[in-house]
Amino acid sequence: MSFLRRRNGTDSSKTRVADPNIKKDGADDDDKKKDQYKIPQRRNYGSKKWSCWDNCCWFIGFICSIWWFCLFLYNTMPDSIPQFVTMAITGPLPDPPGVKLRKEGLTANHPVVLVPGVVTGGLELWEGRHCAEGLLGKRLWGGSFGEFYKRPLCWLEHISLDNDTGFDPPGIRVRPVTGLVAADYFATGYFVWAVVIANLAHIGYEEKSLYMAAYDWRLSFQNTEIRDQSLTRIKSNIELLVATHGGKKVVVLPHSMGVQYFLHFMKWVETPAPRGGGGGPDWCAKHIKAIMNIGAPFLGSPKSIALHFSIEVRDIAALRAQAPGLLDKDVLGLQTFKHLMRMFRTWDATFSMIPKGGETIWGGLDWSPETETVNNSAKKGTDNSTRNTGGNGNICDTKGVNYGRLISFSKDWAETHSSKIERVDFKHVAKGDKLTNSSNCDIWLEYHEMGNRAIKAVADHKVYTAGSILDLLHYVAPKLMARGASHFSYGIADDLDDPKYDQYKYWSNPLETKLPNAPDMEIYSLYGVGLPTERGYIYKVAPPSDCSIPFQIDTSVDGDSEDSCLKGGVFSGDGDETVPIISAGFMCAKGWRGKTRFNPSGIRTYNREYKHAPPANLLEGRGTQSGSHVDLLGNFALIEDVLRVAAGATGEDIGGDRVYSDIFKWSERINIKL
Amino acid sequence: MASVLRFRKLCYVESAVKCTSVGYESFEIDEKLDEKEEDVLSANNFALEINKKRKQPKRQPKEWRCLDSCCWIIGYLCTTWWLLLFFYHCLPVTLLRVPELPGPGVRLKREGLTALHPVVLVPGIVTGGLELWEGRPCADGLFRKRLWGGGSFTQIFKRPLCLLEHLSLHHETGLDPQGIRVRAVPGMVGADYFAPGYFVWAVLIENLAKIGYEGKNLHMAAYDWRLSFQNTEIRDHALTRLKSKIELMYISNGYKKVVAVPHSMGVIYFLHFLKWVETPPPMGGGGGPGWCAKHIKAVMNIGPAFLGVPKAVSNLFSAEGKDVSYIRAMAPRVFDSEILGLQTFERVMRMARTWDSIVSLLPKGGEVIWGNMDRSPEEGHVCDFSKKSHSKTSLTTNNVNNSDVKRGFLVKDLANYGRIISFGKPASVLHSSKLPTADSKEFSRTSTSENFNNFSCGEAWTEYDEMSRQSIQNVAADKAYTTTTLLDLLRFVAPKMMRRAEAHFSHGIAENLDDPKYNHYKYWSNPLETKLSDAPDMEIYCMYGVGIPTERSYVYKLSPNSRCKSIPYQIDNSVHGEDGSCLKGGVYFADGDESVPVLSAGFMCAKGWRGRTRFNPSGIATYIREYRHKPPTSLMEGRGIESGSHVDIMGNFALIEDIMRVAAGATGDEIGGDQIHSDIIKMSERINLGL
């Protein structure tokens, strides 16, 4: 640096010799005084030459100054200007539902309990290993993800649970964040509950009448009680809310997995003390006015299968197809997928999302509730016509799609009629025949205990339905499933009075529990429709390598036509991008409708569907009419429904059922004893 | 750090006008260097070659103007800064971390301590965060953002008036104004840090976490500290929530009693809670008479303001504290100037006077506790804080019966702490017989006199605007006020505020605690007017710092500024005592933790509740734990691990260790019983209170 400047100096000294002479010659007497001032200035500044370095510095400085100036202007600008600009472009924005309803005279009435779903709740660190020093009380999940993006392996270590117990590993305590901050924003600017909360606040809600039932969404539901007493806390808080609001019952808003969690809670709270909360048989009737399930995966979601099987979903698979080597690269020592899979498989809660009800609900090899039974080609015409007439219900061409086959190995097997498929049983194939190098793999996965023959056997079975998928998972990850099976169950109860159903593992499965005895309660299922939702997958065996996951979604497979439901190896159905309609709507449309054996006291149920409409322009952000799984929480129509119910309206008052899809037709096709 | 630098750079930009001269200077230096170089290089062929080469590029030599050099400097600084930042981020995390002092948590964990009793933290005044739930249009976009605490003070700079409006309460109801809802921030985040890097509870929480505490057995009882205590229940159900929370923790942690850790004003808030929870429903929580005995193991009061703080007096009287009045003395016109339209004090005072809770901090117990015109319990305290003089004991013995004159000779101007406000230095030192008596009835007579100023000032800002000039001077006329007459004074200068607040707080001493009137909630937060609950197994700790000069009484003067909308009184910061005197800048100092004098913090535990007294009928054990203040020895220590100052004491390792031991199951005797550095026992003896 100094060297450069010195060189400049010598340079300038040369020119300077000549400079003053010229100046003096041309100068008038009048200007002499000015010149005396000017000349030395010129000498110093004018004679400097630009080196590249100076240019760079100048440029950076220039940019910086302008940037700061703009920043300064931005900060001094009144906050109303951006809004003003938006108004000018899009015309006056519609009032958010809170403001609108406030003008109508609605005020806070029933206290509101929010139950966040999987992934969206924040987790914070209370005790950690050495690598996480100084991060106590920082968010490990949600928020800005704290400092952990700098140390990914450390993060993985802390966020994973113990593979045997399903609790924290020794020396690590990661706990849910409590309060509304737990799930108002998932990451900065990505709202989850924030919009709902803001609108509730408009009609008078505040901290004392809102409660975020935060829980550790990684744990199995009963374990949240064992470790954190989460269920007891929810019970105590609901009782407090009811007591401080003069006996007004609460309105519960569970979202996503929170739906099942709350189902579990309702069962737990009425079970006598040692195993349950000991609230007595009429606790729910006394404390709960309505449960408004948002994006409810009552019967699970096929997405979880792909996650369990190969830690992929549609988007990840597509990404992998784009840059095949990148994510799998062992060269970089990343092994992202295997790390993620290992982490994911330690989370018991993910088992709750595995499709429930087996083939009865999700369809068998040749039928599924979403499609007309295509026995022969003669039906083709009618099939087309239904699509055209009821067209708004379908998002793609469902002709010939076998949704019942959740996993098929190759497109052919996905389409051929079942009678033509020869399936080989895989369960008896010994798992031995280990890959030679598998012991070197530093990341433990149960796949490494499988040999080539076992992998081949799995692929040879060709097609899996919601029933056989459980066998498959049991086969590829026996330990994992053993742990999961002790906390969750996926069947359909034949006799609900069987004493075995008192066990907590059945509590979160609506097909194996009775609803509480609370005839005044209302159950809503609010969900988005009109988005392609993963419903089935086409898999392939991954090119063999020592330490990789042996199965992959076959992203090269596409449907025949433009609007085929098969794209990139994934069969899509209608839903909210995560939960298919059948899972979200069936219980309220049929399973619990009227007095059934699942709903002995005849709790009223309502289906409210919200048709997805993408945001009109960028300024709307994630849209006020979105139907997507999380963005639905910002849907004005949904918020309005929620506010009205919270302010005291009943399901009939807000208009009863509101259905766009064929959920009632599909439910009829499901043959279940009620 | 980055922001500081950026700010500096901004300064560069803004001072672009000055830049000519700066640039000129720096280049003259260059010039000198150039000349030297010339001598060396002119003979050097090599250099000539370079020159030739450099002349070859045909770029026109541009003018190196002032703006350019500015840009150059900024660019240069930026680049180096980025480079450094880049290196900093490249370094492994472990290398750069400031070697943290291992807190007591680590050591105690090694000793085998684990979480046993659930812990409830009760924050004090000012430190709790407040957030907005509904506001005026000027607060758009601040929904559920912090208005107070937690480092969002940037908003205060952006829209100060808006914030003042939102933080003020309604001046008649003491609740939110119409259309504004500001609520306490719940959870740990409510009060762990007050501003970024300025911890309040964070260090304690961190250490508790080390031995196994977490969300389920650690609770922050956040409440809106601006409201009167009963109003937090009426508006937010804060007391009900606290009760439910304690019951829940008691049950979900295997029926282990709770250790409560209140700080500062939280101490009297919790006192209020203890009384509230056992009172039957309409007014109280209906927990029944055994609730405290069943649910609470110990109350560990940190920096307790049991009997109030004199600071609250100056705050209410003139919106000043020791530090503020210093600043005012340094730059007399900045705060007062109306040119900027600031009127900071007036606005702040207006806001502070809507906060009922400040009234709860006015000194309680009147002259019995705080001393009368001529004597006070702290009498003879020597304020040479750097080294305690040995003559202290002799002085105190001398003073008791000495006449005024003699005292003046002996101890120069000895502090008459009892006169909590005196107008002019003479009023603070002269014997009471030579002073005009401050008769409370006198106020009421003058207060009805004509308020000729009222209309000319337009909107009344503070209640001072409603006072006539005459009565303002009457108040000041060379008088001194004790704690008892002070209340009359405040009732006179701010009648509405006191009327509102005195419905919620009382500052006296009960003659007969069984009088049914003491069932009213306004007495619950005054330890001298309530009985402790019947819980013989409970323990009460008074933990506070000592060794820091603490405001104890004030010398006031009439403000020279006689315009409307100004505060007519000011601390007279020109008044200083001689060396070794307790008087400095118009403030008399006594021993304490910078906010709470020892007397207020320690008396109840030292005497009022010690043993079986009428205030403590069940004989709850009390312990005094004092922590002598030591300033941090090095910068690395931050705010010190042995600090005794009011808030920094929450980072005092000795105090944290005590709390952790008790939380892990120890009793007061096991952690060492009393630990006393100050004269609290002697002071308490001088207080003549029927027990």
Q: What tens digit of pLDDT does each residue of B103-119 get?
A: 788 888 888 889 999 99
Handedness of CA A6, A9, A13, A15 (dihedral sign): positive
Q: What is the pLDDT of residues A378-409, one digit of tens each?
A: 333 333 333 333 344 456 666 667 788 888 88
Task: Choose the catalytic residue: B168, B264, B318, B678.
Answer: B264
Residues A320 and A407 in one domain: yes
Distance from CA of B76 to the nearest CA of A (A): 5
Do B68 and A58 count as a contact with CB atoms less than 8 A apart? yes
Confirm or reject contact between B8 and chain A (CB < 8 A): no
Cα angle, residue A453 at apex, residues A450 and A455 outer, rounded to 5°: 55
> Quick one: average pLDDT of B238-253?
93
Please report the beta strands in A414-521, taking only residues with DSSP state E, as ranges in sequence order: 463-465
Please report the beta strands in B381-477, taking only residues with DSSP state E, as ranges in sequence order: 421-423
More confident residue, A389 or B272: B272
**Residues in Cβ contact with B631 at an 8 Å cutoff, skipping those fewer than 6 apart:** B640, B643
Q: Which of A20-34, A196-210, A352-366 has the highest mean pLDDT?
A: A196-210
Confirm or reject contact between B9 and chain A (CB < 8 A): yes
Whether A14 is in a domain gets the answer: no
Confirm or reject contact between A152 and chain B (CB < 8 A): no
> Quick one: average pLDDT of A97-126?
89
Q: Range with the lowest mean pLDDT among A84-98, A104-118, A312-326, B84-98? A: A312-326
Q: What is the residue-wise DSSP string for B330-381?
A: HSHHHHH-TTTT--HHHHHHHHHTT-HHHHHTS--SHHHHH--SS--TTTT-
Residue B646 has pLDDT above 80, yes or no: yes
Cα angle, residue A257 at apex, residues A256 and A261 outer, rounded to 5°: 130
> Quick one: average pLDDT of B460-484?
73
Per-residue pLDDT, A10: 42
More confident residue, A343 or B603: B603
**Residues in Cβ contact with B620 at an 8 Å cutoff, skipping those fewer than 6 apart:** B532, B535, B536, B538, B539, B540, B609
Residues A443 and A584 in one domain: no
Whether A544 is in a domain gets the answer: yes
More confident residue, B473 or A301: A301
Residue A418 has pLDDT above 60, yes or no: yes
% residues pLDDT > 90 (chain B): 19
Q: What is the pLDDT of residues A430-447, one digit of tens each?
A: 665 554 444 455 555 666
Confirm or reject contact between B244 and chain A (CB < 8 A): yes
Which of B143, B181, B209 is the closest to A126 by Cβ?
Answer: B209
Residue A113 has pLDDT above 90, yes or no: yes
Residues A186 and A332 in one domain: no
Q: Which of A339-348, A519-528, B353-362 has the highest mean pLDDT?
A: A519-528
Q: What is the pLDDT of residues B510-527, one digit of tens each?
A: 888 888 888 889 899 999
Residues A312 and A288 in one domain: no
Per-residue pLDDT, B480: 82
The number of beta carbons lying within 10 Å of the beta carbon of residue B37 is: 17
Do B61 and A197 count as a contact with CB atoms less than 8 A apart? no
Provide the H-helix boundaries in A427-553: 452-460, 468-476, 478-485
Residue B604, both tokens: 């109840």
Among residues A640, A595, A668, which one has the least CA distance to residue A292?
A: A640
- pLDDT class of B97 with cuts at 50, 70, 90: low
Per-residue pLDDT, A111: 95
Give the C-alpha separation, B674 to B676, whole Å: 6
Which of A57, A72, A208 is the closest to B75 by Cβ?
Answer: A57
- pLDDT class of A50 with cuts at 50, 70, 90: low
Name the average pLDDT for chain A.
78
Which of A56, A68, A197 is the closest to B10 by Cβ?
Answer: A68
Q: Range with the lowest mean pLDDT among B74-78, B183-187, B579-583? A: B579-583
Among residues B464, B507, B506, which one has the least CA distance to residue B484?
A: B507
Q: Range with the lowest mean pLDDT among A166-175, A189-198, B147-156, B656-665? A: B147-156
Which of A127, A179, A197 is the closest to B187 by Cβ?
Answer: A179
Q: What is the pLDDT of residues B552-580, one digit of tens each?
A: 888 888 877 655 556 778 888 777 776 66
3-state secondary structure of B39: helix
Residue of chain B whose Cα is closest to the Cα of A9: B34
> Quick one: average pLDDT of B251-261?
93
Residues A347 and A489 in one domain: yes
Confirm or reject contact between A107 and chain B (CB < 8 A): no
Give the C-alpha separation, A76 to B164, whole Å: 19
- pLDDT class of A178 with cuts at 50, 70, 90: confident
Confirm or reject contact between B103 and chain A (CB < 8 A): no
- CB contacts under 8 A, A 396-455 vs B, are none
Residues A551 and A624 in one domain: no
Do B79 and A56 count as a contact with CB atoms less than 8 A apart? yes
Count of all residues that appear for chain A in the document: 674
Residue B467 has pLDDT above 60, yes or no: yes
Residues A440 and A485 in one domain: yes
Residue of chain A whose Cα is closest to the Cα of B158: A76
Per-residue pLDDT, A19: 46
> Quick one: average pLDDT of A292-308?
88
Distance from CA of B94 to the nearest CA of A (A): 8
Identify the residue among A65, A125, A135 best suited for mutation to test binding to B, counting B beta carbons within 10 A and taking the highest: A65
Which of B71, B75, B215 is the closest to A175 by Cβ?
Answer: B215
Identify the residue among B95, B140, B152, B252 best suited for mutation to test binding to A, counting A beta carbons within 10 A and taking the highest: B252
More confident residue, A319 or A3: A319
Which residues in A lie closer than 8 A to residue B134 (C-beta atoms)?
A: 201-202
Whether A501 is in a domain gets the answer: yes
Residues A543 and A661 in one domain: no
Per-residue pLDDT, A313: 67
Please report the beta strands in B503-655, taking only residues with DSSP state E, as ranges in sequence order: 539-546, 548-558, 569-571, 583-584, 587-592, 621-628
Whether A2 is in a domain gets the answer: no
Give the C-alpha separation, A191 to A193, whole Å: 6
Per-residue pLDDT, A577: 85
> Quick one: average pLDDT of B163-185?
87
Q: Measuring CA to CA, how many Å separate B348 from each of B160, B165, B200, B566, B616?
A: 11, 10, 23, 12, 39
Whether A151 is in a domain gets the answer: no
Handedness of CA B326, B332, B335, B336 (dihedral sign): positive
Domain with A244 in it = 97-121+179-299+518-531+575-669
**Residues in Cβ contact with A626 at an 8 Å cutoff, skipping those fewer than 6 apart:** A528, A612, A613, A614, A615, A632, A634, A635
Whether A216 is in a domain gets the answer: yes
Q: Are A489 and A223 in contact (CB under 8 A)?
A: no
> Quick one: average pLDDT of B237-242?
92
Residues A543 and A448 in one domain: yes
Confirm or reject contact between B452 and chain A (CB < 8 A): no
Burial classification of residue A217, based on how many CB atoms lie within 10 Å of its CB (0-12 exposed, 13-18 middle, 19 or more buried): buried
Residues A539 and A602 in one domain: no
Do A44 and B47 count as a contact with CB atoms less than 8 A apart? no
> Quick one: average pLDDT of A553-561?
77
Whether A596 is in a domain gets the answer: yes
Catalytic site includes residue B264: yes
**Residue A230 φ/ψ, nearest 5 degrees:** -60, -40
- pLDDT class of A91 with cuts at 50, 70, 90: low
More confident residue, A251 or A13: A251
Residue A532 has pLDDT above 60, yes or no: yes
- The distance from CA A211 to its chain's CA centroid, rounded to whole angstroms, is 21
Among residues B254, B252, B258, B253, which one has the least CA distance to residue B291?
A: B258
Do A243 and B240 count as a contact with CB atoms less than 8 A apart? yes
Residue B398 has pLDDT above 60, yes or no: no
- pLDDT class of B446 with cuts at 50, 70, 90: very low
% residues pLDDT > 70 (chain B): 71
Confirm or reject contact between A13 and chain B (CB < 8 A): yes
Residues A594 and A567 in one domain: no
Counting the structural domains of chain A, the total is: 2
ipTM for the predicted complex? 0.80
> Quick one: average pLDDT of B617-635?
87
Which of B65, B141, B214 is the closest to A126 by Cβ?
Answer: B214
Confirm or reject contact between A59 and chain B (CB < 8 A): yes
> Quick one: average pLDDT of A187-212?
88
% residues pLDDT > 90 (chain A): 19
Q: Range with the lowest mean pLDDT among A42-56, B309-323, B418-432? A: A42-56
Give the C-alpha separation, B456 to B565, whole Å: 10
Residue B500 has pLDDT above 60, yes or no: yes
Residue B9 has pLDDT above 50, yes or no: no
Per-residue pLDDT, B407: 37
Domain with A637 in it: what CATH number?
Answer: 3.40.50.1820
Q: Are A109 and A648 in contact (CB under 8 A)?
A: yes
Which residues in A lie closer than 8 A to residue B203 (C-beta atoms)?
A: none
Name the average pLDDT for chain B.
76
Which residues in A lie closer than 8 A to residue B192 (C-beta atoms)?
A: 137
Give the C-alpha separation, B627 to B639, whole Å: 15
Per-residue pLDDT, B152: 58
Q: Measuring CA to CA, how many Å separate B484 from each of B490, B509, B553, B642?
A: 10, 11, 13, 36
Q: Are A476 and A458 in contact (CB under 8 A)?
A: yes
Residues A291 and A430 in one domain: no
Distance from CA of B381 to the nearest CA of A (A): 43
- pLDDT class of B637 with cuts at 50, 70, 90: low
Q: What is the pLDDT of residues B290-338, one digit of tens each?
A: 899 999 999 999 999 899 888 888 888 877 766 666 666 665 555 554 4
Identify the residue among B34, B121, B203, B223 best suited for mutation to test binding to A, counting A beta carbons within 10 A and taking the highest: B34
Residue A46 has pLDDT above 50, yes or no: no
Whether A468 is in a domain gets the answer: yes
